[in-house]
Amino acid sequence: LLCFHPRGHPAMVNASKVLKARKSKRQPLKLKHKIERKVREHHRKQRKEAKRNPNKFRKKKDPGIPNSWPFKQQLLLEQEAQRVVAAEAQKEAREARKRERAEQKRSQEQLERLGRDSAKERRKVKRRTASFAPLHEVLAAADVVLLVLDARDPMACRSTALEQALIECKKLPILLLNKADLVPRSSLAAWLTALRSELPALATTCANEATHEASGMDVLCSVLEGFANDSRPAAASSSLKVGVVGFDGVGKRSLLKVLRTAKLPAAVSFLAMPARLQPLSSSMGVNDVLLRKCAPEVLAQPELLVGEVLARCSARSLLRHFQIPKFNDDEGFLRAFTAKAAVEAALPVVPDFDSRAAAVAALKHWCLGKMSFFTATPAPSAGASRCSLLKESVWMRLCAGDATLGLAEAESEEHVQLTAGVSEQIDLGAEMEGEWDGDDVAALADGQAAGAEEVERDSDGDDEDADGDSADEDEEVDEADDGEEGDDSDG
């Protein structure tokens, strides 16, 4: 549509807007008064008709069912049933709407919680990255590497491949049994004797529960000072650099914090941040349950992990710790554990047994450190030899410091004895590639291969030592497993 501007210029106008323009509500007074008059006249006629014929505008009331109606009582019952059904349907619809709103709210809260958890995990990763140095940087810069172990299970915290690689590269590895106040004195002495047949080993504690003071730091500083004086020339200007390495949960940062406040020799300096040893396997294992904090709720089958822990425990000390009767299998332990927990919680009745919930509760009991335990020392290996990097005078300092540790006696507590754990494999080649020489990486690979061969030889020896009775029992177990294969496959 083309129209002209007041100044004479043509302009385009939208035709649809012109056609859909709202009609004006203005009306002349004559029409307005006429409408009002008609309305008054209509209302007057309605009132007049209501006075003349009152029943015309009255609504008829439902008379109900006549008394003469056949089967009146049955019809009344049907109507009442229909009213009840309608009321139930209305109530169900109301409950459904309430459940739908609750489900929406729950899903929204879950999304928000996942967002908070992911943000918390990102912050945790950032803090961990800022708190730990890369492993290859610590190993390359350090002259002495302190391998921090958990005194409750030192074997599970070792890495023989890393120890062998450090020795090949002329870097002294020292084993530190941290948290020494958590184990009996006899177990600590046995582990120190066993470990010192291969490498220098010391017992330390960062915060003793009895005295709230660190122990073993003076002996460690004395050993480092002796090694620095023996291994470095007197005119050397640089100090002996010491790095701290270990798995999660062994107390690396606490140890380094205590060492920074200690009176260190002038010839010794510690690297700024410790390094973490990360296992190759990302799945949760027995070491995570006993030595580190973990979340058993995420496990698909926590019952299997409970069985692995029970297989390592001494039955007598385990029963004494939990104060439960003797059990025959893993399910028997979980049932006894559930009943004991119900008694301690003063529940009126024992709840229905749920194997998964019971297994998660038992794993939490171990994860939170509520069970004091120690591990038995393994049999000494025939080919073990003492590290030659440490001179005899320093070895004498190391052994003489055991009497001055000042550790609290832990024999009064009820400890559960476990068999020694198995060290986890770590990927050292990827960390050290490009930082160490090719010979170092090759030596490391040889150490890993030698460790695997040693494990195979040990397993072969165990098989040869088994007697006929155990072989028969293995056959019975195999037959039982074959019988249960169908059920497992169905599951």
**What SS3 state is found at 268?**
strand
pLDDT score of 5 more than 60: no
More confident residue, 401 or 99: 99
Reported as a pLDDT band with limits 50, 70 and 90, residue 405 is: low
Distance CA 61, CA 59 (A): 6
Among 346, 341, 406, 418, residue whose Cα is nearest residue 375: 418
What's the half-sphere exposure (Cβ side, CA atoms, 13 Å) at 460? 6
- The β-bridge partners of 148 are 176, 246
Among 187, 186, 121, 198, residue whose Cα is nearest residue 152: 187
For the stretch 235-267, pLDDT in tens is 566 788 899 999 988 888 888 888 888 777 788
Q: Tell me, rounded to whole angstroms, the distance of Cα 386 from its chain centroid.
A: 38
Q: Cα angle at 387 between 397 and 247, to 5 degrees?
A: 90
Q: Cα angle at 412 between 406 and 416, to 5 degrees?
A: 110
**Identity of residue 438:** G
More confident residue, 450 or 421: 421
Reported as a pLDDT band with limits 50, 70 and 90, residue 350 is: confident
For the stretch 173-198, pLDDT in tens is 899 999 888 888 888 989 988 888 88
Q: What is the pLDDT of residue 462?
A: 47
Distance CA 296, CA 306 (A): 10
Least confident among 98-112, 254-268, 374-388: 374-388
Q: What is the pLDDT of residue 421?
A: 86
Give me the chain's average pLDDT, please: 78
Q: What is the pLDDT of residue 118?
A: 82
Among 160, 144, 145, 147, residue whose Cα is nearest residue 378: 160
Determine the average pLDDT of the residues in 204-213: 69
Q: What is the pLDDT of residue 233?
A: 62
Distance CA 202, CA 189 (A): 10
